[in-house]
Amino acid sequence: MLLCCPACKSRDIFPVAGGYMGQVYLCKSCRYRGSFVLEIDDPESAGTAEERESQENQVRN
């Protein structure tokens, strides 16, 4: 699973030592800092591959 910056969508974000807020993440690209980050399981398959496959399965007459 990858972490993604909610502000600039950069993957250059990493967890830092959380204080009273709990886990905090810091983005190197835009200096975003917060407990909320985007989590991506597999960015390579985030496209429309599945949608295309379903369309190809339809037989044209």
**Which residues make up the interface to Zn ion (CB under 5 A)?**
5, 7-8, 10, 27, 29-30, 32
- Minimum CB distance to Zn ion, residue 27 (Å): 3
Q: How far apart are CA 38 and CA 55, in angstroms?
A: 29
- Minimum CB distance to Zn ion, residue 7 (Å): 4
Q: How far apart are CA 52 and CA 39, in angstroms?
A: 24
- Minimum CB distance to Zn ion, residue 30 (Å): 3
Q: Which is nearer to Zn ion, 39 or 50 (CB)?
A: 39
Cα within 13 Å of Cα(53), Cβ side: 5
